Structure formats: structure tokens, C-alpha cells
């Protein structure tokens, strides 16, 4: 019996995408195999972290790399490293940052749910700009002698200063730039484009999303000096990152995941998502009172229901999908009466199951609605 079944839980088809609350992603066989191998013998965690960091840095064309306990922990370690450097006394004091440069500039359009990661290290967030407007002068004016780092995000939720311009301004004041790209891969080129090509000092990515590694892993990539300071902050050393432990199994799994990820052809992967999205749009568009279209600039399929005609809201439909067999999790969208399907987390053939269930729900609802 499957472990979820032994716990009384039902696995689901995930159309919401690579979200932590949905378990991130599914790991390919080479990743699972590497984790099982690592679980069967002891190893020095310090040496393993060092060797895997060097190997991943080489694969991703970066100076250095560090495996963190998720991308959020990676942000915490990177911020801490920018405040303390490799000073043991400062590292020991965190999250007490009195007397240190402890301000981190964050653009309003780049604020995100996990910005607690910045505060955990003892940093103070200095927010600049508006969600839909900001200028380079806003950034320049915010830099003080207390600025430890400038934090940006890729892709952003709102309007932000381009990363290259942010780097130009920051480096003119000798301030490092940290970029959160947890959702920034694929494409795999973002693993080095943001640091090597755009000039950011550090990029942090999730190991358990687009790379398809263990859910509890992240990657800190970029400038060697900062990553060496991250290492001093983290497990098994005494620092702010001591509770953010990454096991030997997860390290080995992420190493294998990066290897596997780097061998993939971006165009082939994208073509597969496009094929599933096109199929679902055609099928959904043939249903009465349903509109389906591709999200601008992405591969998600946005579904909008005509509630008055259907007598059903998107909330009702999502509930029916979740409670049915198989259980299907669908994401809500920012537009009224809309939801979405993200093909990036669908396994082969699941797009047909999802469409069949939506059609079944709408037909059953139509029959019920007509009898009232």
C-alpha cells in the first residue's frame, strides 16, 4: 500500500504548478537513485557540501555554489553573508546586527511572501518605489552607509528596475546584489545569465521546482567570497543557518537533479508544454460558456467561466475537481471567474484526464441547473 494511503491521504493531479504547498515537483529516477545511494553510507557533510558545490558551480558556469535548505533559506544565508562577511564574531552574533550594515533595499514590485527570509538574519528591509512605478533615482537615493545588500527578483510580480541597471547602481557604491530566481528556471540559462551575464553577485534558485530536485533544497550561486561566508553561516557550523540543515541525501539528489536538468533541451521541454496547453485550449474552447486562452508570456492555460449561463463559479468547479476521483488541484487566477492549468506539473496523459473531469462536472451541473 502506498505511504499516502496508509496515512489516509489521496494523491492528486497537480495543475497549480511548482508550489511548495503542492509538494514542489516530482523527481526523475536519477535523482531518486542518487538519494537512495547517499542514504546507505556515511560521509563528511562538510566535504560533501564542498565537492557538490564545486561540481554544480562548474556545471552552471558560476564561481561557487552552495546547497541550501530551500531557496528561502538560501536568501537568509546570502543576506547574512552580506552583513557579516567571513568575520566569526559577527557570524556568532546574528540575528543581533547592532553596529553592522544591516539594511537591505527591496523594490515594492519585488516584495514577496517569503521576505521574512531577509528579516530572519536580522536585516532591516528598506522598501522603495510603488508596485507599478519606480526609477533608478529611487534606488540611488535609498543607498546609505548602512546598506548591506540590494535584493531583487526574477521574474518580478510588479514593476522593478532591470537587474543590469540595479547592478550598475549597486556596484558603483560597492553594494552586492542578490536576486531571487526561485521560479526563474527553466530556462537553465538563468543559472548563469543573472550572475555571469547580468552581473548580480548572487542568484538563489529553488532545487525542488524547475530543477526537479528534492523539495527541501535550494541553490546559492555566484560570487565565491559571499558563498564562502554562506558556508560559515550554515550547518554543521554554529551560525544563523545551523537549523537549516540539508542532509546528505538531499545534497546528492540536487547534484543529480542539476546534472539531469543541464542535459535537457529547453526547446523540447517547452514544446511539450505548448502541446499540452494547445490541446487543453482547443478542448476547453469547445465547451459552452467556457473561455480558454494562453497566459501572456507564459504557458499556463487561463479558464474563464460564464457564471450566469453556467450557474457555477470557478470556486465551485475547483471544489468539484478537488473532491472528485481522481482528485485534481487547480489554481485560482487573478481575474474574476477564472482559474488556470499549468502544464509544467502534469504527467503524460493527465491533461486528458483533467479535461474529461472538467467536461463531466460542467455537464452534470448543466443537468442539475436545468431541473431547477
pTM: 0.92
pLDDT tens, residue by residue, 312-340: 899 999 999 999 999 999 988 877 888 99
Residue 70 pLDDT greater than 80, yes or no: yes
The yes-or-no verdict on residue 163 having pLDDT over 80 is yes
pLDDT band at 91 (very low <50, low <70, confident <90, very high): very high
Region 36-44: mean pLDDT is 97
Q: What is the reported pLDDT for 369?
A: 56
**Is residue 218 scored above 90 in pLDDT?**
yes
Q: What domains can you pick out in the chain, each with its CATH number?
A: 21-263 (3.40.640.10), 266-370 (3.90.1150.110)
CA atoms within 13 A on the CB side of 185: 32
* pLDDT of res. 364: 85
Q: What is the pLDDT of residues 117-157, one digit of tens each?
A: 999 999 999 999 999 999 999 999 999 999 999 999 998 88
Is the pLDDT score of 116 beyond 80? Answer: yes
- Note the pLDDT of residue 83: 98
pLDDT for residue 167 is more than 60: yes
Residue 62 has pLDDT above 70, yes or no: yes
Mean pLDDT score, 154-173: 94
Amino acid at each position: 500500500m502506498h505511504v499516502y494511503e496508509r496515512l489516509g491521504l489521496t494523491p492528486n493531479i497537480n495543475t497549480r504548478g511548482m508550489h511548495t504547498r503542492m509538494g514542489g515537483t516530482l523527481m526523475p529516477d536519477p535523482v531518486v537513485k542518487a538519494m537512495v545511494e547517499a542514504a546507505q553510507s556515511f560521509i563528511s557533510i562538510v566535504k560533501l557540501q564542498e565537492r557538490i558545490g564545486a561540481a554544480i558551480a562548474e556545471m552552471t558556469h558560476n564561481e561557487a555554489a552552495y546547497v541550501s535548505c530551500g531557496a528561502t533559506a538560501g536568501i537568509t544565508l546570502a543576506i547574512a553573508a552580506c552583513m557579516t562577511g567571513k568575520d566569526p564574531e559577527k557570524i556568532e552574533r546574528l540575528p543581533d546586527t547592532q553596529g553592522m550594515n544591516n539594511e537591505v533595499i527591496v523594490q515594492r514590485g519585488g516584495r514577496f511572501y517569503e521576505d521574512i527570509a531577509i528579516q530572519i538574519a536580522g536585516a532591516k528591509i528598506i522598501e522603495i518605489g510603488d508596485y507599478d512605478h519606480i526609477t533608478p533615482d529611487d534606488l540611488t537615493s535609498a543607498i546609505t552607509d548602512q546598506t548591506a545588500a540590494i535584493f531583487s527578483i526574477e521574474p518580478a510580480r510588479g514593476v522593478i528596475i532591470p537587474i543590469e541597471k540595479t547592478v550598475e547602481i549597486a556596484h558603483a557604491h560597492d553594494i552586492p546584489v542578490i536576486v531571487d530566481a526561485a521560479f526563474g528556471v527553466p530556462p537553465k540559462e538563468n543559472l548563469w545569465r543573472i550572475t555571469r551575464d547580468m552581473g548580480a553577485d548572487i542568484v538563489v534558485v529553488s532545487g525542488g521546482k524547475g530543477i526537479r530536485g528534492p523539495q527541501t533544497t535550494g541553490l546559492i550561486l555566484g560570487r565565491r567570497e559571499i558563498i564562502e561566508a554562506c558556508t560559515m553561516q550554515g550547518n554543521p557550523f554554529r551560525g544563523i543557518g545551523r537549523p537549516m540543515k540539508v542532509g546528505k541525501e538531499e545534497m546528492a539528489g540536487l547534484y543529480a537533479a542539476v546534472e539531469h536538468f543541464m542535459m535537457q533541451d529547453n526547446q523540447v521541454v517547452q514544446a511539450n508544454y505548448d502541446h499540452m496547453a494547445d490541446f487543453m485550449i482547443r478542448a476547453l474552447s469547445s465547451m459552452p460558456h467556457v473561455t480558454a486562452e494562453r497566459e501572456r508570456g507564459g504557458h499556463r492555460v487561463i479558464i474563464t467561466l460564464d457564471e450566469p449561463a453556467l450557474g457555477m463559479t470557478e470556486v465551485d468547479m475547483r471544489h468539484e475537481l478537488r473532491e472528485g476521483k481522481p482528485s485534481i488541484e487547480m489554481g485560482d487566477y487573478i481575474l474574476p471567474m477564472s482559474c488556470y492549468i499549468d502544464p509544467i506539473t502534469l504527467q503524460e496523459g493527465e491533461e486528458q484526464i483533467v479535461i474529461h473531469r472538467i467536461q463531466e462536472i460542467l455537464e452534470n451541473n448543466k443537468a442539475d441547473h436545468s431541473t431547477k
